[in-house]
Amino acid sequence: MRERNRLDSQITKVREIEQSLSDNIELIALGEEESDNAVVSESEAALEQMKKHVQKQQLQSLLSGEADGNDCYLQVNAGAGGTEAQDWANMILRMYTRWAEQRGFKVSVLEMSDGEEAGIKSATLMVEGDQAYGWLKTENGVHRLVRISPFDSSARRHTSFASVAVSPVIDDSIEIDIEEKDLRIDTYRSSGAGGQHVNTTDSAVRITHIPTGLVAAVQSERSQHQNRANAMALIKAKLYEQELQKREEAAAAEHGEKTDIGWGHQIRSYVLHPYQMIKDLRTGVETSQSSAVLDGDLDEFLEAALALKLSADDE
């Protein structure tokens, strides 16, 4: 039913565009015939507005990957650099949270490891919303910050790094087989907010997939069983994302392409000193509105990266 409703919604939008196009063309012809410039101008303005709407819908329609419609997990890890890097990881976490909330998506914190003085060492979010994975899947990679560190008494400029990993939440239509012998499951005491119970029992769960080294840690629930189930779902999501990346790499190799888009590569640079500039190193999109971007205004970057990925897939 969900798939049917999605397709029905897309077809309805196309029909509305077709009808609006036809109506406005007829109005322009009628206005020109009767020398009614007001009608012509109004219809031309409507067509121009519709053009922008069509471009938006075109991008939406291209989110057709097998998991693009799914919710997703988003994991942020601070790079080397201590407090400065941990503060940057926290800024990244806030940026994505703001972006998701502005879209009306639900954001849940599954795991968070606080920094010693400020910020976070790592955090994992679940982002629930229509095509959450489709929109965020191009954010895998390293994000670089250049600024005057608020933690440096000499007010020197620092460069910090944080990595982002995005995986789709796996639904019942996708089967991932994992053998029990390939897993190491550890329990430990949760940290951070959550009440007395969370902080005094070994309710947090960390699952390691031994063959790949992938790790999933969850501490959001009071029950160890719930955290274990959520951690297992996260491991499955990471394995599925890894398989998707392998397929993309194989397709690129088949076409003789070289790509630096992917995990472990720097994708975006955020410069706050000596000037304000955020630039995506894959698409070339840049803006001096750094505060807006760090407050969640990411659509321009996401749309450009998605369009680039889709054009590469088409080739």
pLDDT at 222: 82
pTM check: above 0.85: no
pLDDT at 192: 54
Determine the distance from the C-alpha atom of residue 24 to the mean position of all C-alpha atoms in its chain, rounded to a whole number.
37
By C-alpha distance, which of 307, 303, 301, 312 is closest to 249?
312
pLDDT at 288: 96
How far is the first Cα of the chain from the last one, in angstroms, to the nearest whole number?
Answer: 33
Q: What is the pLDDT along the chain (315 residues), one digit of tens a residue?
A: 767 887 888 789 889 999 999 999 998 988 888 888 888 889 898 898 888 888 777 777 667 677 888 899 999 999 987 899 999 999 999 999 999 999 999 999 999 999 888 999 999 999 999 889 999 999 999 999 999 988 887 888 889 999 999 999 987 667 788 899 999 999 988 765 444 444 456 789 999 999 999 999 999 888 888 899 999 999 988 998 888 878 777 765 654 544 433 334 789 999 998 899 999 999 999 999 999 999 999 999 998 888 887 666 655
pLDDT at 91: 97
pLDDT at 252: 59
